[in-house]
Amino acid sequence: MPASSSQSLAVQFADAVPSLQTHIYDTVRERSDIANLSLLDQWRELVIRPLKLVKSDEPSSPSSYLLIIDALDECDNEGHVRTILQLLAEARLLTTVRLQVFLTSRPEVPIRHGIHAIPQAEHQDFVLHDIQPAIINHDISLFLEYHLGIIGQEWTLESEWPSDKVLRQLRSS
């Protein structure tokens, strides 16, 4: 998540939550150098500050937000990974709204250290290897059936496509 990701996230918040728009736009007007700030400073100015200013009792303002970060381990810059985890840890201190984070990643050392810096009571870890294989296989089956079903409809394939046998083979590979 380079600095531009903070900008992208702020734009998404502004589009989705009208009560945040004003606060984000005010920040951009006040900080003409916002694009040149570090990831840390952009996050604080474009995301945290507006979330602190928004009033959760406003009808157009949700009291809780969900931020999804997928595959954090694929971030090439280890320094950015540490910064992102630090920023997410700081976000838990918001008092005006609740920012929930759904983060996926392989358990790389810097990521494990960053997550363990967050109090255990404030995060839940799910290790894929600890989940029962039957649950994983069921999820994979649902995913395959759904997406292959869409492909079958788009290509007007026979209604039995893909067959149960093919689905079993895909699940077991």
- Listed by start position, the domains of the chain span 3-128, 133-172
pLDDT at res. 160: 86
Tokens of 24: 């984000």
Question: Model pTM?
Answer: 0.72
The arithmetic mean of pLDDT across residues 131-152, rounded, is 91
d(CA 43, CA 87): 8
In Å, how far from its chain's centre is CA 99? 11
The arithmetic mean of pLDDT across residues 133-162, rounded, is 91
Percent of the chain with pLDDT over 70: 94
How confident is the model over 52-79, as pLDDT tens digits?
Answer: 988 765 666 778 889 999 999 998 888 8
Percent of the chain with pLDDT over 90: 40
d(CA 54, CA 60): 10
pLDDT at position 142 over 90: yes
d(CA 49, CA 46): 6
Helix (H, G, I), strand (E, B) or coil at 137: helix
pLDDT at res. 117: 84
The Cβ-side half-sphere exposure at 118, using a 13 Å CA radius, reads 21
d(CA 115, CA 138): 29
C-beta of residue 50 within 8 angstroms of C-beta of residue 32: no
C-beta of residue 39 within 8 angstroms of C-beta of residue 83: yes
C-beta of residue 122 within 8 angstroms of C-beta of residue 89: no
- Taking the alpha carbons at both ends of the chain, their separation in whole angstroms is 33
pLDDT at res. 3: 55
